[in-house]
Each structure stands twice: as C-alpha cells, then as structure tokens.
C-alpha cells in the first residue's frame, strides 16, 4: 500500500511540474503577422519542429510566451505574451501550414495553402492574441522577468512606429529566431 501511495505522490508531483513548466515548441525562425485588428496576430514557427508535433489541440485560450533567442538578427532577447485562440472546425490551432513563397518563406500572405503535404515546410501556424506586458503576472514566476515587448499606438517624430512587436519591420527583416514558444496548460 505504501508503494502505491508513494508512486501516486511521485506521479502527481512530476505531472504538476510538467504542467507548471508548460508545453515547449522550438523553431529555427518565426514571423508574427498582423491579422487585421489588434490584438489578433498569426504566429508562424518554422524549421526544426519535430514532425510528430500535434496539431489541432488548442481547446481554450491558453497563455503562452514567445522567447526570441539573443542570437537573432532581429529582436534578439525579446519576448511576447500571447493568448492562443481556440481551435474550431474551420480553423485548427495549431495548424501545419504551407504558405505562399514555399521554400523561400517570404510571408506574402497568411493563408495555409491546400496541399497533400502540409508538413513539407516544417511550419506551424498559431492564431494568437497579443497581450500587453503588464499581463505577465498571469505567467509562472520564472517567466515574469523576461524582456517583454508590446504593441504601442502611434509614431515617433521620424514616422517610425512606436510598436515594439516583432514582425513590424519590412521584409526581409520581418523574420526572427531561433525562438521558443512556451504554452501554459
């Protein structure tokens, strides 16, 4: 009986730690694409994603953090807070996705093209809602000290957008990475 109780305690402590640490997806590069009305964006992750990564599983608005590696040419060391949008019959979240541009991944549009090989670009697409950095208190404590950036309204005296969100730069500088997306279930 003691062994059974000990096993149950260890199992629950392991599952609790896994739950708190979140679900992690790493990718070689990423792009954040404005989806029409703030706070709606489309997050693309591409390269280095294991092909057995599950799609169409987001059943509620999970909190998530995108961390951009210090080595990234653009936005290195920055992080963004998201809420993931739920899957629907018309919009699975996440979705293995082939976009315009094919191998070039030039991001000319947000549509996932119909194909028999949706994993051929090794690209996952998430529909997300960008959050302000003051929402960091909703995250596990170890994530609250990251260098969060957020959407800002307006332009400076030189006409440059005040928004610090990744993806605001014109191509080819709209890509960044490597990245790590941590989803808190």
Question: Does residue 1 belong to any structural domain of this protein?
Answer: no
| Tokens representing residue 130 in the block | 């960008």
Cα distance between residue 28 and residue 175, in whole Å:
10
Asked if residues 123 and 111 have their Cβ atoms less than 8 Å apart, the reply is no
Residues whose CB falls within 8 Å of the CB of residue 70, separated by 6 or more in sequence, listed in order: 76, 77
pTM above 0.75, yes or no: yes
Question: Does residue 8 belong to any structural domain of this protein?
Answer: no
Neighbour count for residue 109 (Cβ, 10 Å): 11
Confidence of residue 83 (pLDDT cuts 50, 70, 90): very high
Q: Which residues constitute the domain of residue 132?
A: 21-184
Question: Does residue 2 belong to any structural domain of this protein?
Answer: no
How many domains does one find in the chain?
1
Strands 179-184 and 63-68, bridge-based pairing: antiparallel
| Model pLDDT for residues 15-24, shown as the tens digit of each residue | 333 334 589 9
What's the rounded mean pLDDT across residues 133-158?
90
Question: Does residue 54 belong to any structural domain of this protein?
Answer: yes
Question: Does residue 10 belong to any structural domain of this protein?
Answer: no
Angle at the Cα of 40 (from 39 to 41), degrees rounded to 5?
115
């Amino acid at each position: 009986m003691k062994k059974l109780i000990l096993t149950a305690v260890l199992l629950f402590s392991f599952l609790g730690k896994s739950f708190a640490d979140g679900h992690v997806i790493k990718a070689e590069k990423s792009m954040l694409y404005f989806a029409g009305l703030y706070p709606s964006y489309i997050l693309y992750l591409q390269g280095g994603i294991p092909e057995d990564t599950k799609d169409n599983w987001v059943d509620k608005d999970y909190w998530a953090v995108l961390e951009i590696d210090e080595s990234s040419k653009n936005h290195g060391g920055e992080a963004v807070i998201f809420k993931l949008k739920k899957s629907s019959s018309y919009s699975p979240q996440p979705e293995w996705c082939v976009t315009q541009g094919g191998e070039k991944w030039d991001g000319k549009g947000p549509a996932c093209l119909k194909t028999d090989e949706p994993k051929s670009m090794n690209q996952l697409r998430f529909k997300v809602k960008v959050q302000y950095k003051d929402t960091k208190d909703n995250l596990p404590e170890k994530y609250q000290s990251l260098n969060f950036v957020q959407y800002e309204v307006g332009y400076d005296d030189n006409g440059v957008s005040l928004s610090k969100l990744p993806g605001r730069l014109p191509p080819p500088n709209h890509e960044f990475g490597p990245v790590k997306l941590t989803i808190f279930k």
